Structures are given as C-alpha cells and as structure tokens.
Structure 1
Amino acid sequence: MTKKIVPLIMAGGKGTRLWPLSRAAAPKQFIRFIGSRTLFQSTLERVSDPAIYEPAIVVTNEEFRFLVAEQARELGSNLSSIVLEPVARNTAPAIAAGTVVAAKLFGEGAIVQVLASDHEVDVDEAYDNANSTALAAAEDGKLVTFGITPTEPATGYGYIEAGDILPSGAHAVRRFIEKPARKTAVEMLSAGGFYWNSGMFMFAAPVLLAELQVFASEVLEAANLSVSAAAKDADFLRLDRIAFEKSPNISIDYAVMEKTSNAAVVQSAFQWSDLGSWDSVWKAGRQDEHENVASANTTLVDTRSSLVMSHGPHLVVSGLENVVVIGSEDAVYIGRMEDSQDVGKIVKRLEAAPSTARLTESHPTCYRPWGGYTSVLVGDRFQVKRIFVLPGRKLSLQKHHHRSEHWIVVRGTAEVTVGERVAVLRESESVYVPLGEVHRLANPGKIMLELIEVQTGSYLGEDDIIRMADEFGRT
C-alpha cells in the first residue's frame, strides 16, 4: 500500500512585493486577495484529502504563529505540528527541521511534500498526475522537484533542464539555471525541455537527510539538535534557538538539489504562479471582457487590462489601461503594469523614511488569536480602536503602566473583569479601566463582540502590557 504523504508547508516568508496589502507583519500568504480564502488556506485545502495526506506540518515564525493557527481553525484543518523558527535561515534549515519532525511523527520512511504557502495553484487532472508521478519517483529514492511547463520566457524564475526519463515517469535533472536574461529564456523556451523551478518538492525523509549529511552536514546537525531540544508550547513546537542559529543561511537548491545526482523533475502542466508581483496576480486572476481583474469595492469605467483591488476605500478608475491600483486601509499604490517588479524598491524607500516606515510594517487592522483590533484614530496622548473578539475567546488578564482605557460595547456581549469586579456589558454599555488596574475582556456569547476602546495616557504602545494570565501562552 502506498504511504500517505506528509505535507510540509513553508509559511514564514515576509515578502513585500505585493505592498500595500502584503506587509512585514501580514505577508501575502495570509492575505485574502480575491475570494474568501487566503493563499495559506488554499494550500491547506490542496492537502486536505485524508486518503492521500497526513495532517500538515507548518513551518513558520513566532510572529505568524497565531495567524497560522487561526486560519487553519477557520477551515477546520487539523495540523500535525506548527514548527516555529527562532531566526530566519532560508529554506534548507527550515525544510531540514520540518523533515526531522515528520520522521519523528510519521516514521523514518515518511514521504514528505514541501509546499510554499504563498503560491497560486490550480488543482486539476494535470496536478493530480504530477503528484502521482512525484510520489512514484520519491518512493524510488529520488529527490523530486516540480518543474512547471513555461508559458512565456519569464526572467523572474529559475529553470530546470530535464534529462533522461526515469521508470517512475519523472525525468532526471540535467541542470538548474539561475534566473536568466530574456534572450536566454527565449532560447530555452524554443528548445524545449526546460521548466520553471516551482520550489515544490517531494522525497522520502531518509533520502533527503542522507543527502544533507553529504552536502550540508552543518544544516542537518543544526536541524537535529534544534528539534531534539525543542520546547512544546501549547499548539506550537519551538525549535531551540542556540542550535538553529548555528545553521548556515542557505536555500535547499544550493545546499542539496544542485549538487545531488539523485534529483528528479516532474513535468507539471498545471496552472501555477508564485504571485511575486502585481502583474502575476493580474495574470492569475479571473479577467472580465476588458481584461480587467477587480475586487469588490471598486468601479471601473473605460478601463482595460488593469488590476484594481481595495481592502479599504471604494476605488473608482476611469479611462486607464495597463495599470495597477491597490488600496489598503491606509495606503494606495498606483503604477503601470510593466513596473510591478519595482514595488520592492518602493517599499525600501518607504522603510527608510521615519514618516512612512510604519506603512511597510503592519496594517491598521491587526489579528490576534482572540480576534483583533483596528486603529481608528491616533492623537497626542489618546488613541481610538475598534476591538473585535471571537465567540468564546478572551484576552489575557493584564494591566498597563502608562494608559487608562474606556470600553463601549457596540455589538454582542462582553464579560469584563476590572480588579475584583466581574460584570457583563451589553450593547451601548461601557466601563472605565483606570491606569494600573488589572483587567480582562472576554466574549461569552455566540456572536462576534465589537467595542470601541479609547486609550489615554503618556505612552500608548502595544508593548505596555503586563500579562498575569493568558490562554495563548503569552505570559
């Protein structure tokens, strides 16, 4: 009987090329672009068939741990483990540690499939066929990569040249090619036998670990030590920092795939995009009769071949062609479609200026394991927030050294602890929390709790929180 596949999902990236929607604290894998699912959730859905897959292992970082847990919960998706990297060390250390965890959970012979959490993939017959071929090759002891059939001479992807066909139906890898100049890309497309390097892999755990021992032993040692010394924290597995930090910062391609003689490539004809820029989002989107891709909250007049999306104000675009217009809660980007690759440069410019750096870091709306909040208004010594709490959830028992708070319930029911007093507040009722007083907010109801919070004080930063008790392990 064929073994089930263990999905290993990489979800720690902090890409900013899809600014202003994607930011350091809320990158593209956790953003809803068009539709009800985030890219991370779509990845979970691709590996949800229990006849084929074991529950997924997700590798991410401390900052995204609750986003991962909450978005999996929304889908009703059970995860085998959420592995937290203490520092960023590229894909080889992350995949190595995840593979060690997979072997511990599912046996040394586990078949692992590595998936990026921020790619757009069409699951169809071509996808299923590629997966079946990859599984057969992995069971034959190959380190398999998925090579996407190119549709254009793209220069933003690495390429793989396929060699001889193998018994599994996969091909031996002849060579990997770095992101090429356009002339080289055109030549490869014309010659055939070249494929985009998708960054998706499948292998038997002991095969990868053996190749790491040969070609990147320091990576393997750091992975083994960081997992053996890892700490279990609620739903999370925290890799040991001291051990993990010693790993070289290196990609899996450089560490193993370009050196091994065991690499195979599966020719993959399914639709795929790494959504690395706004023009790729436009290409992957559902275009209307005027070749526009638009989200809700937008109106397009005499506009063609454009991408218009808003997570904030209603956007009206008139009389334009080949443009990208993206609105978030606090910023709007407008540019030519052909300049989409330059958004990363713009973000660096914004980061360098104190007045705009915050626009690259986080959104006015921040999500937490209990719900989240939106910053509505910030002034001298005061701040107004909209707070929303999921049914059955509660914030930590906490106090502040520098601010007092006033809560007004807008919708739902709030259970409020202030000092020794516990009260239930309903719509339009309010409570005052004095500076330094121990307090807690909870939603005992069946619907979302929404309230307006007015903070006043000499310092209003999020780090002015002293937690005494917290069900999410943040004390």
Structure 2
Amino acid sequence: MSPIVTPVILSGGSGTRLWPLSRTGRPKQLLSLTSADTMLQLTAKRTGGAGFAQPLVVANAAHADMIERQLQQAGISDMRLILEPVGRNTAPAIAAAALALDRDALMLVMPSDHVIDDVEAFRQAVAIAVPLVADGWLATLGITPDQPETGYGYIKRGAELAPGVARIDRFVEKPDRDTASAYLAEGGYSWNGGIFLFGAGAYLDALERYAPEILSAVRTSMENARHEGSRIFPDPHAFAASPSQAVDYAVMEKTDKAAVVPVEMGWSDVGSWDALHAISVRDEGDNAHHGEVVAIDTKGCLIRSEGPLVAAVGVKDLIVIATPDAVLILPRGSSQDVKRAIQALEKDGHVTLHRAMESATAPIGG
C-alpha cells in the first residue's frame, strides 16, 4: 500500500504581474482565470481522492476567509491553514508546514497559482517519486521545456535513479536566450516548476544541516503559535526573524539527495498576461477575450473586461484589461512591463494595487 501524501499548497503570492485583475487584496490564485474554478480550487482538486490527505495551506492571513470559502466550495471542508504574519519566501513556509505534520508524512508542495492541463500525468509523476521520497530523497517535478524560455530556472538531469527519476546534477539560473536554446538542443534539462515532494522529517533534517537559522526561527514561531480551529498563526516575531530564502537555494541546491521526475503535463505558471493569452481559447483571429467586448478587425489580442464595454477596432497584438477602477493597455509581448505601472502606482500609494476585485470570477475565452 502506497503512503498517503499530504498536499501543501503555498498561497502567499501577491500576483502583481496580472494587475489590474490581481491585487494584493485578491491575488491571482484566488481568481478564475482559465476555468470556472479559481487557481486555488484547481490546485486543490488535483490531489483529491485516494492516496492524498486533506490539504495544508500556507497563506497570507489577510486571505484566510477567501481561501476557506473557496476550498469549501470545492468540496474540501477539512483543510488546515498556516497563516504567515509576514512573507519569508518558500523555505520558511514549507518548514512551518513540515513542523505541523508528523515527521514521516510525505509532503507534496505546490504553488497555488499554476495551470496543469494533464492532471493524470501530474499524478503519475508524483507516484513515480514516492518510493524514493519514502527512502529519504527530496524530489521535484521537472517540466519538459517546449521552447527556449528565459523566464524559468532549469534543472540539469544526471544519472537515472529509478525508471522515470534522475538525480539532479545541478540547478541553473534563468539563462539568456542563446543558452536556453543550447539547453533544448542538448537535451537533459527540465524547467524548475517549483513543485516538490519530500518527507517532512527529511526536509527538516536538510534545513538543520544547510539553513539552521531558518529552522530555528520557524520552529520557535510554531511552538508559540496561536490556534483558532483549523487556523494556525505562527508567532509573528519569531517568524519574522527567519531569513527569507527559496527552498531551491536553502536546501535543494545543496543536498546530495535531490531527484527530479521529468514530466509533460501542460504546465504554465500563468506568470504574465502573455502567458494567459498563450493558454486561453482563441478565435480565428488569435484573439482571447472575456466580458463585454466588441472586437472588429482585431488580431492577436487579449481583451478582458470586468465591467465596462471594451470596443477594439482595427488593432493587433494588444493586451487590454479593464476593471471598474483601472484599465491596462500594452503591446502583447511586453506584458512583463506591467511592473513599470506597478512601480509608478506604488510611488503614489494608489488604491488599485490593493483593493480586491470581487467581480474577477470568470475565465478568459469562457
């Protein structure tokens, strides 16, 4: 009988790259962008049924009510929430989850805001990793690259450890385009998608060895945590004392027991409006649109309205996102430049960075 796997869903991100739809008050994981379900609900549903325990969610305390409501709507009533008093990146967040579980628990750590089209391939990859993880290895799912992407870190695969699982030779920082093209031509590389599977005890032992200051701070915060029903509130002073590090840097790049399962599963981190256009249903003009939109002689556009009518005539390759209080317009292919708008708004302390958009509940192309 296979061990039970506990889904650990990381839901602390602010998702500002999808402004003005995603706000700190309602980040992208709490929005319905690609289906009727929100990103969080899709993530939780991937690990429902036999072989999986109820999820443990690590999140921003400000989103607790929305997270509980959405998971209940998805049929999950027995979740637990660890509510971070301050963001300290993924290594401390995962440490808090590990300390809330038994040492022999297997943790499947997942971002809450990714798209996976082939859920069966995802579940098979998890199953392939379980035997090694039960033996003390720290595993990650390596996304099979389909283009020379410069926005992701890469994993160089080493020797095969078991069918479908390889030792990690090294992690590679986000490359330039020529280097990424060389990786694809060479083969043996995966994208680092930020999905991990390891034992709670094995992870805590690795932290003790490679990042003891993180473990010490988070352990103190959990020992002094406040509990309210299913909600766990780590001690804010102790948690804030933890260094802010990603699990990749704190543990995975340092351990000699890191493994990768290469998988093709229709994955996207939906990290930009361009990425959403690429995975959305599009019309014959390569347009993806949602809401009250009139598009005439348009081509290659992503147009979404959460209220006002948007009429686009004779334009091409634009991103147009309209909400009741903000409109974003920029060329398709330049969606990373949203950060320039964010910087300008931060300078003025503009309310549209934070005010939640309750109407953002339907997918583009739906």
Preserved contact between residue 302 and residue 320 of structure 2 (Cα < 8 Å): yes
- Which stretch has the larger CA shift, 244-253 or 133-142? 133-142
Matched residue type, 2:38: T
Hey, what's the Cα distance between the residues in 2 that align with 1:288 and 1:364? 27
Partner of 2:261: 266
Hey, what's the Cα distance between the residues in 1 that align with 2:323 and 2:78? 31
Matched residue type, 2:98: T
2:110 to 115, 125, 133: 115
Hey, what's the Cα distance between the residues in 2 that align with 1:124 and 1:24? 28
Q: Does 1:69 align with 2:68?
A: yes
Partner of 1:362: 355
Hey, what's the Cα distance between the residues in 2 that align with 1:140 and 1:114? 18
Q: Does 1:48 align with 2:39?
A: no
Preserved contact between residue 120 and residue 273 of structure 1 (Cα < 8 Å): yes
Paired residue secondary structure (1:312): coil
Preserved contact between residue 206 and residue 251 of structure 2 (Cα < 8 Å): yes
Hey, what's the Cα distance between the residues in 2 that align with 1:11 and 1:304? 35
Matched residue type, 1:21: L
Q: Which runs of 4+ in 1 moved over 4 A?
A: 364-367
Partner of 1:83: 82
1:169 to 150, 164, 167: 164
Preserved contact between residue 110 and residue 205 of structure 1 (Cα < 8 Å): yes
Paired residue secondary structure (2:196): strand
Matched residue type, 1:352: K
Matched residue type, 1:42: L
Counterparts in 2 of 1:365 and 1:111: CA distance versus 1, 3 Å? closer
Hey, what's the Cα distance between the residues in 2 that align with 1:263 and 1:123? 25
Q: CA deviation at 1:353?
A: 2.1
Q: How does 1:59-458 map to 2 (within 5 A)?
A: 59-103=58-102, 108-167=103-162, 169-354=164-349, 357-363=350-356, 365=358
Matched residue type, 2:62: E
Q: CA deviation at 1:228?
A: 1.7
Counterparts in 2 of 1:301 and 1:353: CA distance versus 1, 3 Å? same
Preserved contact between residue 307 and residue 323 of structure 1 (Cα < 8 Å): yes
Matched residue type, 1:361: H
Counterparts in 2 of 1:134 and 1:197: CA distance versus 1, 3 Å? same
Partner of 1:7: 7
Q: CA deviation at 1:144?
A: 0.5
Q: CA deviation at 1:126?
A: 2.4
Q: CA deviation at 1:127?
A: 2.0
Hey, what's the Cα distance between the residues in 1 that align with 2:15 and 2:234? 23
Q: CA deviation at 1:80?
A: 3.3
Paired residue secondary structure (1:17): helix
Preserved contact between residue 3 and residue 111 of structure 1 (Cα < 8 Å): yes
- Which stretch has the larger CA shift, 233-242 or 323-332? 233-242
Hey, what's the Cα distance between the residues in 2 that align with 1:124 and 1:279? 23
Hey, what's the Cα distance between the residues in 2 that align with 1:153 and 1:139? 34
| Alpha-carbon RMSD | 1.6
Preserved contact between residue 147 and residue 267 of structure 1 (Cα < 8 Å): yes
Preserved contact between residue 160 and residue 195 of structure 1 (Cα < 8 Å): yes
Preserved contact between residue 134 and residue 266 of structure 1 (Cα < 8 Å): yes
Q: CA deviation at 1:366?
A: 9.2
Matched residue type, 2:224: A
Matched residue type, 1:45: K
Q: Which deviations, in whole Å up to 9, do the C-alpha atoms of 1:278-298 show, x marking residues without a partner?
A: 000111212222222111322
Matched residue type, 1:255: A
Hey, what's the Cα distance between the residues in 2 that align with 1:311 and 1:270? 30
Between Structure 1 and Structure 2, the one with more strand by share is 1
Q: CA deviation at 1:311?
A: 1.4
Preserved contact between residue 61 and residue 85 of structure 2 (Cα < 8 Å): yes
Matched residue type, 2:151: G
Counterparts in 2 of 1:34 and 1:263: CA distance versus 1, 3 Å? closer
Hey, what's the Cα distance between the residues in 2 that align with 1:203 and 1:168? 18
Q: Which deviations, in whole Å up to 9, do the C-alpha atoms of 1:385-422 show, x marking residues without a partner?
A: xxxxxxxxxxxxxxxxxxxxxxxxxxxxxxxxxxxxxx
Matched residue type, 1:60: A
Partner of 2:363: none
Hey, what's the Cα distance between the residues in 1 that align with 2:232 and 2:329? 41
Q: What residue ranges of structure 2 are gaps of 5+ in the alignment?
A: 361-366
Partner of 1:36: 36
Q: CA deviation at 1:206?
A: 1.2
Preserved contact between residue 2 and residue 51 of structure 2 (Cα < 8 Å): no
Paired residue secondary structure (2:344): helix
Q: CA deviation at 1:322?
A: 1.4
Hey, what's the Cα distance between the residues in 2 that align with 1:325 and 1:302? 15
Number of aligned residue pairs: 360
Q: CA deviation at 1:168?
A: 5.0
Q: CA deviation at 1:18?
A: 0.4
Preserved contact between residue 21 and residue 357 of structure 2 (Cα < 8 Å): no
Q: CA deviation at 1:302?
A: 1.7
Hey, what's the Cα distance between the residues in 1 that align with 2:240 and 2:224? 13
Preserved contact between residue 164 and residue 262 of structure 2 (Cα < 8 Å): no
Q: Which has the higher contact order (CA 8 A, sep 6+)?
A: 2
Paired residue secondary structure (1:338): coil
